[in-house]
Amino acid sequence: PNGEFIRFVEDVGPHPIGPYTIARADGSGIVEGVWISARVSDDWSPDGKQIVTSDDDFAALQGSKLYIADADGFNKRILYGSEGFSADDPKWSPDGTQIAFKKRNDNPTAANRISLWVINLESNAARELPVSSNVWGVETWSPDGKQILITAEGGVFQVVSLDGQPP
């Protein structure tokens, strides 16, 4: 977001899997082979100093975690993970204090398998937000950080309030 770094994944087949290459926007400071994520499912922090990403393995369906790393790809740490579930599609709140993500129950027979969650970065507490159907995508936060736009099952956009009340 601040224009200091760019990152990309080399296309190594039908899915964008592989290490990121990170460089300064002017082309200097190239860091090749930084393994942040197995998928391109990430978001920059509002100040541009960090990236949140998922290691979702869409082939294995054996769970995934959310990670935070410095913008240069180093100092990667686990932010969230839960056995039997996959976390994906993270989006940073405008004030940088929370991250919204979708959480998939890896049990294919579970009703409403994909839900919307928010994690507070100070307390590391995660909570589910009420949605009426499966969450296909976490799109963006409202500028004031009080609502999240998602794509729900069927491709329908839905606004979800952090307080659980209808928007």
pLDDT band at 94 (very low <50, low <70, confident <90, very high): very high
Q: What is the rounded average pLDDT for all residues in the chain?
A: 78
- SS3 annotation, 63-100: CCEEEEEECCCCCCEEEEECCCEEEEEEEECCCCCEEE
Predicted TM-score (pTM) above 0.85: no
DSSP 3-state percent helix, strand, coil across the chain (nearest 5) = 0, 45, 55
Strands 77-81 and 85-92, bridge-based pairing: unpaired
Contact 129, 114 (CB under 8 A): no
Residues in Cβ contact with 45 at an 8 Å cutoff, skipping those fewer than 6 apart: 1, 51, 52, 71, 92, 96
- Taken as a whole, the chain contains a residue count of 167
CA distance 15 to 155: 22
- For the segment 97-122, the average pLDDT, to the nearest whole number, is 87
Residue 37 backbone phi and psi in degrees, to 5: -150, 155
Question: In the predicted model, is pLDDT for residue 8 greater than 60?
Answer: no
pLDDT at residue 42, as a whole number: 80
Give the three-class secondary structure for 53. Answer: strand
Task: For residues 67 and 75, give the distance between their C-alpha atoms in angstroms, rounded to a whole number.
Answer: 10
Torsion, Cα 76 79 85 86, to 10 degrees, reads -50
Query: For residues 74 and 130, which has the higher predicted lDDT (pLDDT)?
Result: 130
